[in-house]
Amino acid sequence: DSGVTQTPKHLITATGQRVTLRCSPRSGDLSVYWYQQSLDQGLQFLIQYYNGEERAKGNILERFSAQQFPDLHSELNLSSLELGDSALYFCASSVGVRASYEQYFGPGTRLTVT
């Protein structure tokens, strides 16, 4: 158990809908990363938050957004969902702001868009 929690574990929804994925980092960790894992793209970085502020953006679509709350949990919002958004979404946390710190991953949320 990494200490990072993600809910829900599975999500099935229809095209055009909006969903929210939630992540709680390990105790003491200030950084939260979101990654998407799909069969064709592999593991792709989406966005990073550190202590409540957005620090870096990767291949995140405009239809996607995220935030980190004062209690350090984070939410990833996916809207106007398309079939291609079906993937495993991971949250990772680390103690520092740099990517070179150890990143611990949650169990992931498997999103299926039908």
Partner 1 sequence: AQKVTQAQTEISVVEKEDVTLDCVYETRDTTYYLFWYKQPPSGELVFLIRRNSFDEQNEISGRYSWNFQKSTSSFNFTITASQVVDSAVYFCALPGANNLFFGTGTRLTVIP
Question: Binders of partner 1 among 42-101, rule CB under 8 A?
Answer: 42-43, 45, 48, 55-56, 58, 88, 90, 92, 98-100
List the one residue from 30, 65, 67, 104 that touches partner 1 (CB under 8 A): 104
What H or E segment, with its residue span, contains residue 106?
none
- Of residues 16 and 58, the one with the C-beta less far from partner 1: 58
* Strand spans (E) along 27-81: 31-38, 42-50, 53-57, 64-68, 74-78
33, 21 in Cβ contact below 8 A?
no
What H or E segment, with its residue span, contains residue 110?
strand 109-113
Site residues (vs partner 1, CB under 8 A): 2, 33, 35, 42-43, 45, 48, 55-56, 58, 88, 90, 92, 98-100, 102-108, 110
